[in-house]
């Protein structure tokens, strides 16, 4: 049951969970003969020196935090290269497991618990950085606790190269400043808590898109999501916790709780429901112990990149990528129109009429195809590749290709395509340099559409394949 893992001083009883970076066991701490959750960090992390340092340092910090709504850390250490953290065993599962079954009153009580725990930790000077449903767990008395203080920071310290190919976390609850890899404080955690609250209330994540990068970008650019009408009375809580600018958010977890209480006071019915749920939840959880700690790796998307939130940023800053992602990668979600984005370039209206129907492309004569291709190239350089490689049927690649169909070997068209390939090779190069493997992949593919033989792109492609294969 316990594979071959051994940690002296602990008797491993049973594996109870697995995350991207660790395996969690129910264990008995022999000296005190008490049950603990023993989290064993993955060997890939343990092999990394900066992780080991940060893990021990952050673990010591986490152990100093004592609050009814923070997971209690008992011990942290290493034994024959195995890095572990022993904490209180939380037998009643995670918020991720039970999210679907909660009513509004129960949800509000949980976020209230967590906000108060965050308030305390922030006052002590600590930021969690990974507030998400999988890290909100329950004691047998039903109270919610936040797990894994300090771990996110330790993981973040690990270099891009080490983490290539490892799935580490989700952007679903990531604050805009995390997505941009700018410094975070407690208000970032409150943003994440707002995102968790939103999901609990609506059953879906605040931002959904085809891939992790698009989701991270949406946290920066998209308007704060709206609750359905019948929950509109809670919208102020979402608006204020998920404000794009930290300065517009709650300054503390206590302020979050105060606003929640204010809204509840204005909704006496809900207030009563909350009081009722408090006792009901405790009863339900007490009879539910042990039903939900199956080894789920979490249903949230795992994404591959390096260094926690760091990576996304560079991409966000790279103008070429921002608009590209926004326009092309998230068809399900409307592109940012209103919220300001600091790192993004200004996107001017596209030149000329839309050519999307292939028929209209065919209508243009050769000279127009070429001159418009050049215009589109210039436009795309400033607008994240828009009109250069997308939208389909109305972009420089398609125009130059059409020109080559009519006049094989046309020098202007050939050069045009080569310049596009070079543009993408540049972008991919800098993405790769910053450990942005997915972003680099996407850029390489775009570039190869323009020029499948471009040497720089082919080399990048090989490099990426190696990085993804080798870890
Ligand atoms: N103290 C604990 N008591 C009981 N079960 C736990 C405890 N800590 C973690 N678990 C279980 O182990 C699982 C894995 O936890 P872990 O923190 O490694 O990953 P995660 O937070 O779910 O996801 P990620 O790796 O993305 O952070 C949890 O989902 C939970 O089911
Ligand atoms: Mg966790």
Question: Is 336 contained in some domain?
Answer: no
Q: How far apart are the C-alpha atoms of 95 and 97, rounded to whole Å? A: 5
CATH of the domain at 18: 3.30.200.20
| 230's tokens | 């019948």
Strand (E) or helix (H) holding 16: strand 10-18
Q: Which one is predicted more confidently, 299 or 142?
A: 142
In this structure, are 314 and 447 located in the same domain?
no
**Of 89, 104, 127, which residue constitutes the final position of a domain?**
89
| 373's tokens | 């291709």
In this structure, are 312 and 175 located in the same domain?
yes
pTM for the predicted model, two decimal places:
0.64
**Of 89, 104, 125, which residue constitutes the final position of a domain?**
89
In this structure, are 147 and 263 located in the same domain?
yes
Q: Is the pLDDT of residue 247 over 80?
A: yes
In this structure, are 258 and 137 located in the same domain?
yes
Q: How far apart are the C-alpha atoms of 31 and 105, rounded to whole Å? A: 41
Question: Is 352 contained in some domain?
Answer: no
Q: How far apart are the C-alpha atoms of 94 and 115, rounded to whole Å? A: 16
Mutation pick for ligand 1 pocket among 147, 153, 166, 294 (CB with most ligand atoms within 8 Å): 147
Shortest-distance Cα residue to atom 17 of ligand 1: 19
Residues with a CB atom less than 6 Å from ligand 1? 16-22, 24, 37, 71, 87, 89-90, 94, 134-135, 137, 147-148, 169, 293, 298
Q: What is the pLDDT of residues 249-267, one digit of tens each?
A: 999 999 999 999 999 888 8
CA dihedral 396→401→406→408, nearest 10 degrees, is: 120
In this structure, are 394 and 364 located in the same domain?
yes
In this structure, are 234 and 102 located in the same domain?
yes
Residue 105: exposure state from Cβ atoms within 10 A (0-12, 13-18, ≥19): buried
The reply to whether 254 belongs to the active site is no
Catalytic residue among 113, 130, 172, 441: 130
Find the 18 Cα to ligand 1 centroid distance in Å.
6
CATH of the domain at 369: 1.25.40
Find the 21 Cα to ligand 1 centroid distance in Å.
10
In this structure, are 44 and 100 located in the same domain?
no
Atom in ligand 1 nearest the alpha carbon of residue 300: 26
Question: Is 71 contained in some domain?
Answer: yes
Q: How far apart are the C-alpha atoms of 273 and 169, rounded to whole Å? A: 34
Q: Name, in order, each residue with C-beta under 8 angstroms of 168's C-beta and a sequence gap of 6 or more.
A: 20, 21, 155, 302, 303, 304, 305, 308
In this structure, are 243 and 267 located in the same domain?
yes
**Which residue range forms the structural domain that includes residue 414?**
358-468
> What band does 354 get if pLDDT is binned at 50, 70 and 90?
low
Question: Is 341 contained in some domain?
Answer: no
Beta strand pairing call for 82-88 and 34-41: antiparallel
* 76-80, 342-346, 457-461: segment of lowest average pLDDT: 342-346
Find the 90 Cα to ligand 1 centroid distance in Å.
10
CATH of the domain at 103: 1.10.510.10
Shortest-distance Cα residue to atom 18 of ligand 1: 19
Q: Count of domains in the chain?
A: 3
**Of 89, 104, 139, which residue constitutes the final position of a domain?**
89
| 274's tokens | 């909350």
Question: Is 216 contained in some domain?
Answer: yes
């Amino acid at each position: 049951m316990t594979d071959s893992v051994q940690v002296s001083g602990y008797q491993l009883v049973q594996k109870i969970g697995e995350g991207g970076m660790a395996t969690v066991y129910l264990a008995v701490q022999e000296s005190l003969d008490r049950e603990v959750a023993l989290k064993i960090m993955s060997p890939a992390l343990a092999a990394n020196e900066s992780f080991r340092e940060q893990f021990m340092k952050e673990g010591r910090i986490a152990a100093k935090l004592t609050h009814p709504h923070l997971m209690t850390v008992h011990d942290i250490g290493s034994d024959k290269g195995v890095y572990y953290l022993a904490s209180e065993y939380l037998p009643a599962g995670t918020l991720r497991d039970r999210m679907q079954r909660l009513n509004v009153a129960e949800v509000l009580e949980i976020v209230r618990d967590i906000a108060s725990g965050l308030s305390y930790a922030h006052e002590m000077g600590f930021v969690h950085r990974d507030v998400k449903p999988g890290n909100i767990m329950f004691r047998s008395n039903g109270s919610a606790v936040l797990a894994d203080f300090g771990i996110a920071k330790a993981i973040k310290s690990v270099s891009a190269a080490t983490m290539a190919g490892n799935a580490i976390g989700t952007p679903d609850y990531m604050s805009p400043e995390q997505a941009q890899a700018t410094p975070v404080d407690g208000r970032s955690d409150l943003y994440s808590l707002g995102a968790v609250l939103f999901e609990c209330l609506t059953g879906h994540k605040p931002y959904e898109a085809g891939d992790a990068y698009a989701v991270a970008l949406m946290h920066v650019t998209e308007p704060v999501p709206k609750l359905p009408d019948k929950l509109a009375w809670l919208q102020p809580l979402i608006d204020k916790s998920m404000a794009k600018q930290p300065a517009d958010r709650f300054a503390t977890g206590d302020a979050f709780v105060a606003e929640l209480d204010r809204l509840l006071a204005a909704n006496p019915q809900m207030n009563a429901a909350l009081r009722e749920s408090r006792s009901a939840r405790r009863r339900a959880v007490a009879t539910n112990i042990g039903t939900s700690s199956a080894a789920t790796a979490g249903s949230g998307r795992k994404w591959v990149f390096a260094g926690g939130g760091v990576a996304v940023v560079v991409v966000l800053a790279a103008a070429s990528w921002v608009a590209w992602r926004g326009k092309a990668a998230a068809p399900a979600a409307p592109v940012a129109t209103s919220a300001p984005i600091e790192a993004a370039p200004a996107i001017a209206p596209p030149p000329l009429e839309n050519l999307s129907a292939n028929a209209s492309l065919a209508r243009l004569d050769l000279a127009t195809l070429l001159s418009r291709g050049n215009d589109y190239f210039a436009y795309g350089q400033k607008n994240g590749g828009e009109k250069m490689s997308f939208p389909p049927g109305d972009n420089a690649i398609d125009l130059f290709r059409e020109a080559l169909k009519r006049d094989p070997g046309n020098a202007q068209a050939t050069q045009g395509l080569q310049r596009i390939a070079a543009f993408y090779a540049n972008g991919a190069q800098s993405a790769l340099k910053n450990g942005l493997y997915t972003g680099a992949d996407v850029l390489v593919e775009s570039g190869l559409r323009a020029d499948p033989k471009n040497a720089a792109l082919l080399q990048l492609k090989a490099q990426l394949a190696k990085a993804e294969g080798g870890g």
